[in-house]
Structure 1
Amino acid sequence: CVCFILFSVLIVLIFRIANRLKEPKYSLFCVGVVLLISFSLVINAFGVGGILPVKGLAVPFLSYGGSSLLANCIAIGLVLSL
């Protein structure tokens, strides 16, 4: 439950960054990062809950996945640099 709250806070903060940007392409990039994080989080939550079959997606910032963790950190770093 705490993880979902923290991910929700992260998603809201990224949306706030996207709203204050003047360039639409940067706002769309922020929305894409939010969709990337939320999609993999929802797929994993449904897999744990037994709604969907378990997939090999890593939970952002929690699972031990080298390339996934690196890609998520780069995406968040790019959002913070906007």
Structure 2
Amino acid sequence: DVQVLTNCMVLTEGFDAPHTSCAVIARPTKSPGLYVQMVGRALRPAPGKRDALLLDVLGASTRHKLASMVDLTSREISEHATSKSLREAA
């Protein structure tokens, strides 16, 4: 099994590995679309996957905002829902 996969500007488009559980974003980008694609490598749902870790080395997350459940549904997620998956909370 592959435990670690690294790349340099190769896996930004057209690569799907939904079981990815950690993404280290170590490059700056001014493109919101490119940022979403990069973090999307780890955020894709997969059977048995409950979470993902995003490590933003250069602060791209301060420039680009990812949509949250609240943004997508316009409703609050209650505190008691924090132990549930996004599907269960929705």
TM-score over 0.5 (shorter chain): no
Larger radius of gyration: 2
Higher fraction of helix: 1
Higher relative strand content: 2
Scaled by the length of structure 1, what TM-score is found? 0.28
